Amino acid sequence: MATASASGRKSIFITGAASGIGLGAAKRFAREGWFVGLADIDKAGLKQALAEIGPGNGVTLDLDVRDRGQWSRAMTAFGKASGGRLDVLLNNAGIARYGYLEEQSPEEGDLQIDINVKGVINGARAGLDLLKATPGSTLINVASCAGLFGAPRMAIYAASKFAVRGLSEALEGEFGRFGVAVRCIMPWFVDTPILNAGAQGTNMKIADAIREGGSPVYTVEEAAQVIWDAAQGKGGKLNYIVGQAGKSLALTLRFMPGLVRKRLRAAQLAEQP
């Protein structure tokens, strides 16, 4: 762990902080004067991330979110560096595999569940003591607009994000008794390395589907701003969607859920030889 002093500043612990939305959020909060815990399995990426936010603005922590022991050690180390504060825990680490269910190996499926679901649960457990000890603290879980509807070729990923959404809703009630707020972030497609995800033995990637469908792709800065708003409790909501496309989808699902399913089925049938 690279060390620095929090000097009484507000603090945030971010998983998956070496790149993508995690790094974008780290920069956003550091710019506001927060002390940032950068956690990831990518050691080289963490070193670069700390350089980008400024060495005095945070610490790096090696963390595989699947490992409860590593979570315990990371929280202990971060608590020492932050002076016992944890204003925000951002459960951001996640992966995707793109392809029909039969194209994805059981191991690829397990990995998505282990990181995207179990990793978030591990984080909520490990961070609770510090969150409870910090008045006005917030747990923020990053789900996805895939947690709003189950898109073909993303079945397991969608299942994992539905789980994060449900977990967040339940924890909002549970953690509320400790004065800890819970928020759930649901990004539409964001320009991160996850768009290059595919499945073993297939050439199709999420980025390919985006290009074919003409879907918008949002920036990590836009996602980071939504996370910032969620941390401030802006709007007093549980769920925060990143991107107008996601907001439009949520509205359609609310009033015309059958229309989305019909379009998805039609698109899949059109691909049949």
pLDDT class for 257, splitting at 50, 70, 90?
confident
Residue 253 confidence (pLDDT) above 60? yes
Instruction: Give me the pLDDT at residue 129, please.
Output: 98
Residue 104 lies in a domain: yes
132 token code pair: 């409870």
Residue 2 lies in a domain: no
141 — phi, psi (to 5°)? -105, 130
Q: Give residue 137's domain range.
A: 11-248
Residue 273 lies in a domain: no
Q: How far is CA 13 from the centre of its chain?
A: 12
3-state helix, strand, coil in the chain (%, to 5): 55, 15, 30
21-49, pLDDT tens digit by residue?
999 999 999 999 999 999 999 999 999 99
Predicted TM-score (pTM) of this structure: 0.91
Residue 257 lies in a domain: no
Residues designated catalytic: 157
Q: Tokens 């603090």, residue?
A: 11
DSSP structure string for 202-248: ----HHHHHHHHT---B-HHHHHHHHHHHHTTGGG-SEEEESHHHHH
pLDDT class for 143, splitting at 50, 70, 90?
very high
Residue 84 CB: number of other CB atoms within 10 A?
14
Residue 234 CB: number of other CB atoms within 10 A?
12
Q: What sign for the dihedral angle of Cα 109, 171, 60, 189? A: positive
Residue 263 CB: number of other CB atoms within 10 A?
11
Instruction: Give me the pLDDT at residue 270, please.
Output: 58
Instruction: Give me the pLDDT at residue 245, please.
Output: 92
**Closest to 243 in 3D by CA, of 227, 260, 222, 224:** 222
Q: Domain tally for the chain?
A: 1
* Angle, vertex CA 153, rays to CA 105 and CA 216, nearest 5: 135
CATH of the domain at 190: 3.40.50.720
51 token code pair: 């350089």
Residue 267 confidence (pLDDT) above 70? no
Mean pLDDT of the chain: 92
Residue 4 lies in a domain: no
187-213, pLDDT tens digit by residue?
999 989 888 877 566 767 788 877 777
Residue 259 lies in a domain: no
Residue 96 confidence (pLDDT) above 70? yes
